[in-house]
């Protein structure tokens, strides 16, 4: 019965980093002095990892990037102003003249921010074959789709893919990322 008691005593002494009972050391044939045998120590607990810095979610980053691009198109070509303006009452010639300027300036802004390339080579309305294993994110097959690829059809739109996106850094605070264009007030 004494051995069972010593076994429990040793277990809890070791578990809580205490000195082993003298009786257990004597049973094991060890007779160290009190100074020569330090109390067993538990390893230091691992430091808690620091929480990651507040990072925006991917959806928030996507929204911020879209707002930045829209902001560039507004700043350089006044695209938002044009789209938000009711144009039904303007004569076609006046709208056409405005569109030419907006088109030129927005195209310049877009080319300075994003390099766009056609997803598929070829002329629209020309015959084309979509090979097996195509990427449905890059090619959408429309119309009467039957069977398995390869599909033969007519190229309706060559698609666009973005490369080399050059957006400015995200503004701080994050709420500022939702401002497409700040209001302007001129002082007299």
Which residue from 116, 115, 117, 105 is spatially nearest to 73, judged by alpha carbons?
A: 105
Q: What is the DSSP letter of 7?
A: H
The verdict on 110 and 21 lying in the same domain is: no
Q: Based on the fold, state whether residues 88 and 2 are members of the same structural domain.
A: no
pTM over 0.75: no
Q: Look at residue 155 and tell me if it is in a domain.
A: yes
pLDDT in tens, 68-93: 899 999 999 999 999 999 999 999 99
Dump pLDDT digits (tens) for 139-166: 999 999 989 999 999 999 999 999 888 8
Query: Into how many domains does the chain fold?
Result: 3
Whether the CB-CB separation of 40 and 20 falls below 8 Å is answered with yes
In a domain, 174, yes or no: yes
SS3 94: helix
Largest CA distance in the chain: 108
144: helix, strand or coil: coil
> What's the rounded Cα separation, in Å, for the pair 71 and 181?
6
**Which domain, by its residues, includes 124?**
116-163
47 assigned to some structural domain: no
């Amino acid at each position: 019965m004494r051995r069972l008691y010593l076994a429990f005593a040793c277990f809890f002494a070791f578990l809580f980093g205490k000195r082993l009972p003298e009786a257990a050391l004597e049973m094991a044939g060890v007779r160290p002095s009190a100074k020569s045998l330090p109390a067993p120590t538990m390893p230091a607990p691992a430091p808690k990892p620091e929480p990651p810095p507040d990072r925006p979610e991917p959806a928030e980053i996507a929204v911020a990037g879209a707002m930045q691009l829209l902001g560039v198109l507004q700043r350089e070509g006044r695209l938002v102003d044009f789209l938000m303006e009711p144009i039904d009452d303007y004569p076609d010639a006046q709208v056409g003249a405005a569109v030419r300027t907006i088109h030129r300036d927005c195209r310049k802004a877009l080319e300075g921010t994003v390099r766009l390339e056609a997803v598929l080579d070829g002329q629209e309305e020309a015959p084309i074959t979509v090979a097996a294993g195509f990427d449905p994110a890059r090619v959408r097959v429309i119309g009467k789709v039957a069977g398995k690829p390869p599909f033969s059809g007519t190229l309706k739109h060559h698609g666009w893919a973005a490369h080399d996106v050059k957006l400015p850094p995200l503004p701080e605070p994050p709420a500022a990322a939702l401002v497409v264009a700040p209001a302007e007030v001129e002082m007299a």
